[in-house]
Structure formats: structure tokens, C-alpha cells
Homo-oligomer: A and B are copies of this chain.
Amino acid sequence: MSVANALEPLTDAELAAWRGLLRTHALLVKTLDAELEQAHEIPLTSYEVLLHLSHAGGKMRMCEVAESVALSRSGLTRLVDRLERDGLVERRSCPDDARGAFAHLTDTGRAKLDAASSTHLAGVRRHFLDHLGPEQQRCLAAAWESVMGAAATAGGPSCSA
């Protein structure tokens, strides 16, 4: 908080909290991605796009999808290119705003999502949730809320949707 201690090295506890986040995230994402790729030939990021689309009722604006999976606009454009090529998603025009575009979940995409979800869900449980007590779960959720809340105050997301 203060400027005076900006150069103090991190305490062991601070270091463990910070570096653990980096290490654990890397391991989990790598593991879950490999499991999805192996069992269903779909990368984790693609899976998450399908998942968000499904949760949103089957369609989202491109910029919303980009924000939801933490990808740049151009990054999402290429990803949806791949998903469209594989028949999992379709682009449709946006009646309200001709500049925009919707990403639509296709039947094939929904089927792929349904098939892959048990693999993914099992992986998230086995590699992550199963090792957390209910108290720890709440603590993590509160921590994310606090960190993200502070960030939102400063520089929020980009697109209006």
C-alpha cells in the first residue's frame, strides 16, 4: 500500500501466495488442455468458448466472447475461424448493430461440448477442487473477488456489451 516499502522483498507467505498462483495455474491449464486434446481433440481455449456460448444461450457478441476467455479481439477472430472451420460455431450478423457479429453455437458444437464436458469437469475436480476444503474454496473465491474488483475500478473491459 505504501510507497516506502516498495523495495522490501516479499515475505515467504507473500511469495508462496504469488508464485504458487503462477505455478498452479500453469500446471492446471497444461494438464486440463492435454486431457481434453487427448480425449476429444479440442483445446481448452476452444472448449471454453463453446462453454461460454452455451451458458449465454447459444450466442454471444464476438467482443463478449473475447473478454470471457481473456483473448485479444484478433486472437478471438482467429480462434472462431478455427471453430467455424470445424463446424462448431457459426458467425451471424447482428441486426441491432451492423458493425458487430454474433458467434453462434451449432448443433455439432453443442454435441462436442456435451461430450467433452465430463472429461473437463472430472479434470477440474480431480486436479483442483478435490484438494480444496469448502473453507478454502470460499477463501479463494473471496480473494478473486477482491483482486478483480480492485482492477475493475481502475481499467475495466473494453467493449460495450
Interfacial residues, chain A to chain B (CB-CB below 8 A): 1, 6-10, 13-14, 16-18, 20-31, 70, 117-118, 121-122, 124-125, 127-132, 134-151
Contact = CB atoms under 8 A, between A and B. Distances in A.
A25 to B, nearest CB: 4
A130 to B, nearest CB: 5
Dominant SS among interface residues on chain A? helix
B118 A6 contact: yes
B131 A21 contact: no
Contact of A121 (B6, B20, B24, B121): B6
Given A10-B124, A151-B127, A144 B16 contact: yes
B70 A27 contact: yes
A125 to B, nearest CB: 7
A17 B114 CA distance: 22
Contacts of A31: 151
A32 to B, nearest CB: 10
Nearest to A143: B136
A138 B137 CA distance: 13
Contacts of A136: 139, 142-143, 146
